Amino acid sequence: MFLSKLFIPITKNLPSDAKIKSHQLMLRAGMIKQSSAGIYSWLPIGLKVMKKIEQIVREEQNKIGAQELLMPTIQSADIWKESGRYNDYGEEMLRIKDRQGREMLYGPTNEELITDIFRSSVKSYKSLPQMLYHIQWKFRDEIRPRFGVMRCREFFMKDAYSFDLDDNSAKISYNKMFFSYLKTFKRLGLEAIPMAADTGPIGGDLSHEFIILAETGESKIYTDKSIFEIDLNNYSYDNLSLEKMIKDYSSVYAVTDEKFKKAEFDKKVNKQNQLITKGIEVGHIFYFGDKYSKPLNCFVDSQDGKKNAVKMGSYGIGVSRLVGAIIEAKYEKEIMKWPKAVSPFDVVIIPSFNKNNKENLTKSIKIYEELKKQNIDVLLDDVEENMSQKFKKHDLIGIPFQIIVGSKSTESKIEFKEVNSESSFVDLKDIKSKLKS
């Protein structure tokens, strides 16, 4: 893609409500545009980053046998009334009526709808366990949407739901998802801490939030620093390994403020190892047993012929929120550097040229064409402006690798740079291996 052809409305002027770095950068870099309070249009490079996050989330869900489907954004109020949650959910739920006067809602979550799908299709224990997920837009009418995509009204989210015959098998599903989340966030370049948390309006008695450290986060967290020493490479999806993983994480004190008890914290964690800070929730998992299956009559025949209410869990990842969360974690000293896995482009070519001397632009186009042949997603900055302005612009956009075509480059060697690192001169044929290293 040539920068001159890319729809990327970079701006210097920011709304007064853009208080945190992710909101500011996403507006300045032309990643999003506000449509109304808490609702955004996703522009090309913002959408590209979000889609890469979505694909990583999808791949890790598929690895544990979860199957993807797609549920609608608009739901009937009937199943919510059947579960008893329609009146309890509160004003965050957007309630509407169709032209026939039927009560509908814009889904804030999908426990009722997925249970309705499951109960109409599965009748025997032989079909269990099952994990189903979708990645879909949600709407919650936040009373005070703020912080850009971090707390907005319309958002893109992965919901997964597990269905098991009993508590023991349901815990295996929960543990698989726990491990899957840790691996997902690792691939996104994030160090996420699983923390015991309240279940909130979804209900249940077992819940973990996955938190990344950030001073702009809304969650206050209390943890033992030793939690960062746990190595994911020591575990696998084998049941015994999953149990060990849960035991290892559970043995380290890590809670959000809802669960915090000072006396317990001081007793379990020595002063030198105590960490009290803020973080951003990027995922939340719940086990709620038969909270929804019983009122919705979601039963399966067990091996002994009895009818059992299926045991369910719910697992969410805020895909659109993760775009902002990654920025909060990675943005430093006015420079953004996207993790390679989610960068809008693999590399950007930055030539020094003007209208009277376009030699470097010509060289850059040849490099561009060669990299495209190698299936490298490359951006060529063909906009005529001074190099200082170019570098400031690309510090904002955050593509992690740069090829600089100027006086130092030769026919055989080109200047190659990773953001926040020193440049070096490499052969064009070696660029692909540099990008993958």
Q: Domain map of the chain by residue range?
A: 8-330, 347-436
The pLDDT score that the predictor gives to residue 408 is: 78
pLDDT tens across 401-411, in order?
999 998 777 77
pLDDT tens across 367-377, in order?
999 999 999 99
The pLDDT score that the predictor gives to residue 202 is: 53
Q: Tell me the C-alpha distance between 358 and 353, whole Å.
A: 5
Percent of the chain at pLDDT > 70 equals 98
Q: Is residue 17's pLDDT more than 70?
A: yes
Higher pLDDT: 16 or 233? It is 233
The pLDDT score that the predictor gives to residue 214 is: 86
Q: Is residue 14's pLDDT more than 80?
A: no
Q: Tell me the C-alpha distance between 57 and 183, whole Å.
A: 10
What homologous superfamily does CATH list for 347-436?
Anticodon-binding domain (3.40.50.800)
Average pLDDT over residues 359-371: 93
The pLDDT score that the predictor gives to residue 386 is: 92
Under CATH, which architecture does the 8-330 domain have?
A: 2-Layer Sandwich (3.30)
pLDDT tens across 114-123, in order?
999 999 999 9
Note whether 294 and 315 are within 8 A (CB): no
The pLDDT score that the predictor gives to residue 58 is: 98
Q: Is residue 203's pLDDT more than 80?
A: no
- The yes-or-no answer to whether 8-330 and 347-436 have a common fold is no
The pLDDT score that the predictor gives to residue 361 is: 94
Average pLDDT over residues 144-151: 90
Count Cβ neighbours within 10 Å for each residue of 312-326 and write b for 16 or more, e otherwise.
bbbbbbbbbbbbbbb
Q: Tell me the C-alpha distance between 370 and 320, whole Å.
A: 33
Closest Cα partner for 53 from 185, 144, 245, 174?
185
pLDDT tens across 235-254, in order?
999 999 999 999 999 999 99
